[in-house]
Structure 1
């Protein structure tokens, strides 16, 4: 679900920056800004005469990013823009105050660049950083307020970068690898898989203090693709923290993201936008005299093979799968008010989470009167989480959807007999008591407005 961004008002000491605008250029346009993830790249330390080189640097990073999974598979989900911000001086500041200066030493510099980036932050030479977030957010607000993630490329040949709200990378050694690694922090909140220090150690997608392989958050990936539970060290506090892989990009540059991190990135992509790009009809004035009625959706396909699955149902009865167009004749409408629904979900093998069939479901529903035609069109993105599964006593269901609708849950025996039902409200977790059910396999169906939007096997043990 596309999240609205709140922009921080800048204090008065920013002065003229508050209204300054710059040249904005799309270097990748996959679709409308409200239906794509908008990555905006800013440059620091580029003179006006060096802005063509900034465009080259940004394009090189973008190409490297979309050559690696999972960004390669989800390239169509992104727009990429650059904002050409000239600096008064070329390069970035190096105060020479860090204790780990490289050999040969980097020249001490004091550079008047636009965003104030500098090496040696927090006593580490490679920490290329700026505290001028207000300047960055102002430039974004004035020039591209619909950004989802921004990234800073610094015109410097020396190794350096940092994460945080805005990932920062130099453009020299390992530039793209640094930027992609830091983007993992900022875009998805992935943790470093080298030990980041006691202050930064915390539970995350790819970091935990859980040691039991059957309970760890990436349990479904254990023993697949070299995923396991690996301590950060053999002693000290670091030994109490665990990572899922020994050679992930979040530990070493030049490696792929591990399966756990790939999954986290894809989940974030689906959190931000729906895979349904457009649909027709969008209006509710289509007359029943226009039979046959044609209904169509366009999806944002994954690459190189589309992993999106589409399922069409009429009045809760499945009628078609994995097609984009359905045609209805008058004889198909058997009751006075009919609901035609299409449900889209991602079947990629890069995701291996429990209840995947009920997570990140996107739907379009047309309400059709068999005498008046299309009367209503409803679009929704659902995130339904069902856990634990298998379950012994209690089944928890968490719902999140943009229209604040309630979902009806029905648990059926394999012969179709309804055994339990419940209503799940938006932004709430509902517990269903299944302790009295016999051990075995059941079907859990999810409905909204009498439309079946998902179905999931439940194992009672």
Structure 2
């Protein structure tokens, strides 16, 4: 994660040049108003803002729940919003965050996030390609429809977006709102960046899907590259992502592989967890856990497998112990050992002295380092349990954290 000091007022020097096609195509996600998603090769424009003064940008904290060093930082940018449009931009950011936190697992784990709003003031209102391809707007982030000839693909100058996002204290995911009511967006999964129409009612629905990629390391579950029913077949090795596999239900059960623990259980996106063929951009040979989850279509829920992986990845970034008293060197006897935990339910706190659990101390966030004259060790273990996580590797891994103190003896 990239961590920077908060800059409340800053200017950036960028170099301007006409947009040019990039050296080669790269895969991009394209979103339709009906919720379907396709993946197509796109020639992205080269950065065009190279030699002019960018507008001054301020940073507004939307919701701050803790130190950025132990939170997931979501940074919003706006493009094509003039000074007069800033109130509209702020309202759209608030609406996007509200929509996202109405969906699990963001709703339950909302307090693991910090949300920052970078207020980029544009000299012109609107973005290129709105409403038609011949409309050109010189905006700070270079947002444009008709990217590589695709009307609804909303590209942005990646370098300019990242430079502006760096004004915020944290930058785990960048969300660029374009000042338009025209539907469109794009997912830059390699850059943890997503674009969407800030003024369209369905624009914000793109963000949770993209967070499935950037935060959850989830694969797409839709079964085709650009066209449905293309007869494509996956014939490679087992897939790395948690929510796709080459194994059917019987094989997963026999081998205790992938999501075997969830098979037959109800899933939040409807139906029961199984092995549904068609995923990872192919029609055959790859299986997904449910019929139609958020990683297949917009405006859906994550399936059980996706939700579990998202929670595990949340805790990879936001660790269960928020802070603790120093433990880098031995502490005197009778010292107070204290921790602060994340503000989430389902945490268990256990204390151990020289390897033996102190049952009377369970649940405490501070204890006194009492003990014999030879000193010893004190360890606290904080673990999070939830019915949404079944994999013991997740429960014992990112959902559990411990801190150990060495206590001085009398000599």
TM-score higher than 0.5 = yes
Tell me whether 1:188 sits opposite 2:230 in the alignment: no
Deviation string 1:316-351 (CA, Å, 9 cap, x unpaired) is 000136413343474xx1361310100112212211
Larger RCO: Structure 1 or Structure 2 (Cα < 8 Å, ≥ 6 residues apart)?
2
Q: What pairs with 1:359-374 in structure 2 (closer than 5 Å)?
A: 359-360=397-398, 361-371=400-410
Any gaps of 5 or more consecutive residues in structure 1?
96-105, 373-461
Cα 1:86/1:219, change in 2 over 3 Å = same
In the alignment, the residues of structure 2 paired with residue 52 and residue 329 of structure 1 have an alpha-carbon distance, to the nearest angstrom, of 53
In the alignment, the residues of structure 2 paired with residue 43 and residue 193 of structure 1 have an alpha-carbon distance, to the nearest angstrom, of 30
Checking the alignment, whether the CA contact within 8 Å between 1:121 and 1:128 is kept in structure 2 is yes
Deviation string 1:149-204 (CA, Å, 9 cap, x unpaired) is 111111111222221121111120312212222232333332332224189x8752
1:60 offset after TM fit, Å?
0.9
In the alignment, the residues of structure 1 paired with residue 330 and residue 170 of structure 2 have an alpha-carbon distance, to the nearest angstrom, of 32
Q: What pairs with 1:118-129 in structure 2 (closer than 5 Å)?
A: 118-129=144-155
Checking the alignment, whether the CA contact within 8 Å between 1:213 and 1:229 is kept in structure 2 is no
Cα 1:50/1:24, change in 2 over 3 Å = same
Identify the residue that residue 327 of structure 1 maps to in structure 2.
367
Identify the residue that residue 277 of structure 2 maps to in structure 1.
231
In the alignment, the residues of structure 1 paired with residue 303 and residue 221 of structure 2 have an alpha-carbon distance, to the nearest angstrom, of 10
In the alignment, the residues of structure 2 paired with residue 357 and residue 264 of structure 1 have an alpha-carbon distance, to the nearest angstrom, of 11
Q: What pairs with 1:434-445 in structure 2 (closer than 5 Å)?
A: none
Tell me whether 1:66 sits opposite 2:115 in the alignment: no
SS in structure 2 of the partner of residue 241 of structure 1: strand
SS in structure 1 of the partner of residue 386 of structure 2: coil
TM-score (norm 2): 0.75
In the alignment, the residues of structure 1 paired with residue 110 and residue 300 of structure 2 have an alpha-carbon distance, to the nearest angstrom, of 19
SS in structure 1 of the partner of residue 382 of structure 2: strand
Tell me whether 1:173 sits opposite 2:201 in the alignment: yes
Q: What pairs with 1:63-212 in structure 2 (closer than 5 Å)?
A: 63-94=98-129, 107-108=132-133, 109-130=135-156, 132-141=157-166, 143-144=167-168, 146-164=170-188, 165=191, 166-171=193-198, 172-197=200-225, 203-211=240-248, 212=251
Deviation string 1:359-418 (CA, Å, 9 cap, x unpaired) is 12311111112327xxxxxxxxxxxxxxxxxxxxxxxxxxxxxxxxxxxxxxxxxxxxxx
In the alignment, the residues of structure 1 paired with residue 312 and residue 385 of structure 2 have an alpha-carbon distance, to the nearest angstrom, of 12
Deviation string 1:201-237 (CA, Å, 9 cap, x unpaired) is 875232333333335522222111211110128xx94
Identify the residue that residue 396 of structure 1 maps to in structure 2.
none
Checking the alignment, whether the CA contact within 8 Å between 1:18 and 1:138 is kept in structure 2 is no
Q: What pairs with 1:227-266 in structure 2 (closer than 5 Å)?
A: 227-232=273-278, 237-266=282-311
Identify the residue that residue 355 of structure 2 maps to in structure 1.
316
Cα 1:187/1:45, change in 2 over 3 Å = farther
In the alignment, the residues of structure 2 paired with residue 46 and residue 149 of structure 1 have an alpha-carbon distance, to the nearest angstrom, of 21
Alignment RMSD (CA, Å) = 3.0
Q: What pairs with 1:396-435 in structure 2 (closer than 5 Å)?
A: none
In the alignment, the residues of structure 1 paired with residue 295 and residue 287 of structure 2 have an alpha-carbon distance, to the nearest angstrom, of 13
Any gaps of 5 or more consecutive residues in structure 2?
5-12, 17-48, 227-231, 267-271
1:262 offset after TM fit, Å?
1.1
Identify the residue that residue 386 of structure 2 maps to in structure 1.
348
Cα 1:209/1:326, change in 2 over 3 Å = same
TM-score (norm 1): 0.67
Cα 1:34/1:156, change in 2 over 3 Å = same
1:84 offset after TM fit, Å?
0.4
The size of the alignment, in residue pairs, is: 345
In the alignment, the residues of structure 1 paired with residue 355 and residue 326 of structure 2 have an alpha-carbon distance, to the nearest angstrom, of 20
Q: Which of 26, 31, 39 is equivalent to 2:66?
A: 31
